């Protein structure tokens, strides 16, 4: 039961719970954070996750804030990021944000698992 680690960064507890539950069902190790700063802390304290599921709209340090920090840190900059958001604008943004994939909330579980699988192989 110790599959690849997935970092979930989302301010909503219910979302974190649901993501954590469904990914755990698929044998991923899930680490959660409520905002960007917490997400960065989790990145540094544990062995780096294989993929990051990132919410865009969050209080304090949001998705963009997290991305800036992550990209600035060479040790974690290469970890692929999957953007999970209900914000159409964030979804429509170009590749310059540097995210590997974008998933619209509410996400299809199959789609989610396929994307996570792609970056954890």
Please report, as ranges, the residues that interact with other proteins according to CB under 8 A: 11-15, 17-19, 21-22, 25, 57, 59, 86, 105-110, 112
CA-CA distance, 1 to 43, in Å (whole number)?
A: 21
Q: Which token pair is 100?
A: 């590997």
Least Cβ distance, residue 40 to other proteins (angstroms): 19
Whose Cβ is closer to other proteins: residue 70's or residue 102's? 102
Least Cβ distance, residue 37 to other proteins (angstroms): 14
Least Cβ distance, residue 11 to other proteins (angstroms): 6
Least Cβ distance, residue 74 to other proteins (angstroms): 32
What are 104's strand-pairing partners?
A: 85
Whose Cβ is closer to other proteins: residue 56's or residue 119's? 56
Q: Do residues 88 and 75 lie in contact, with contact meaning Cβ atoms separated by under 8 Å? A: no
> For residue 27, is the peptide bond before it cis, meaning its omega torsion is within 30 degrees of 0?
no
> For residue 106, is the peptide bond before it cis, meaning its omega torsion is within 30 degrees of 0?
yes
Neighbours of 108 (CB within 10 A): 10
Whose Cβ is closer to other proteins: residue 11's or residue 37's? 11
Whose Cβ is closer to other proteins: residue 58's or residue 70's? 58
């Amino acid at each position: 039961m110790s599959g690849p680690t997935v970092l979930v960064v989302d301010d909503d507890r219910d979302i974190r719970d649901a993501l954590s539950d469904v990914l755990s069902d698929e044998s991923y190790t899930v680490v959660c954070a409520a905002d960007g700063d917490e997400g960065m802390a989790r990145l540094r304290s544990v062995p780096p996750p294989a993929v990051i599921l990132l919410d865009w709209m969050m209080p304090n340090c949001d998705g963009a804030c997290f991305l800036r920090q992550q990209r600035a840190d060479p040790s974690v900059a290469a970890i692929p990021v999957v953007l999970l958001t209900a914000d159409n604008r964030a979804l429509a943004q170009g590749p310059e944000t540097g995210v590997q994939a974008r998933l619209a909330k509410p996400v299809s579980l199959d789609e989610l698992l396929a994307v996570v699988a792609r970056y954890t192989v």
